[in-house]
Amino acid sequence: MQERPIPSITDRLAVFAATLGPVGRIRKAPGTWGSAVALAAAPWCLVPLPLAARAGLLAVILAGGTWAAGRAEKVLDRKDPGCVVVDELLGQWTAFTPFFLSGPTPTMGLDLFELFLLFRFFDILKPWPIRAVDQGVPGGIGVMLDDFVAGLFAAAAFALLHLFI
């Protein structure tokens, strides 16, 4: 029987970051749980920031998440493992980013939940071009980019729904 090598501290850190600690280890629907954590943290960690800081934060999450997801794929020996949920954080916060720029609103909680549902809808169904990114871009960047595109779709759908309602 061949023993698996003990992962290095760097590998353990990458998997911890990629899974958002214990969140990705929740057996049922880890992606939804990752999105829920992003939803819960957004009013304190994202909404108070100006647009430029939000964009910078998304860039940091994209870069760090790409590294962590790529390392996690190697350590876990699986392509886009379900336990990797840092991409849900990126996608969910991408959906939230263009909204609430002047601060919290009376309907912010409901609006954030609506954006959460829209993101999950696009992330699960993966219409074109989300599916093309998911299937065509390899490694950690591919793990991250399909959720980024799903977040853009969710933001656009939210804006259009509220334009016509």
> Is the model's pLDDT at 2 over the cut of 70?
no
Identify the pLDDT of residue 71.
Answer: 97
Q: Which whole number is the average pLDDT over 4-26?
A: 92
Identify the pLDDT of residue 165.
Answer: 83
Task: For the chain, give the mean pLDDT.
Answer: 95
- pLDDT tier at 78, thresholds 50, 70, 90: very high
Identify the pLDDT of residue 6.
Answer: 64
**pTM score:** 0.94
Q: pLDDT tens-digit profile of 17-51? A: 999 999 999 999 999 999 999 999 999 999 999 99
Residue 93: CA count within 13 A, CB half-sphere: 31
Q: Which whole number is the average pLDDT over 92-113?
A: 95
- DSSP one-letter code for 24: G
Q: Which whole number is the average pLDDT over 79-85?
A: 95
Between CA 49 and CA 39 the distance in angstroms is: 15
Q: Which whole number is the average pLDDT over 148-165?
A: 96
Between CA 83 and CA 100 the distance in angstroms is: 30
> Is the model's pLDDT at 123 over the cut of 60?
yes
Q: Are 110 and 100 in contact (CB under 8 A)?
A: no
Strand segments (E) across 23-136:
none
- pLDDT tier at 7, thresholds 50, 70, 90: confident
Contacts of 47 (CB under 8 A, 6+ apart): 96, 100, 103, 104, 108
Q: Which whole number is the average pLDDT over 132-141?
A: 96
DSSP for 91-105 reads HHHHHHTTS-TT---
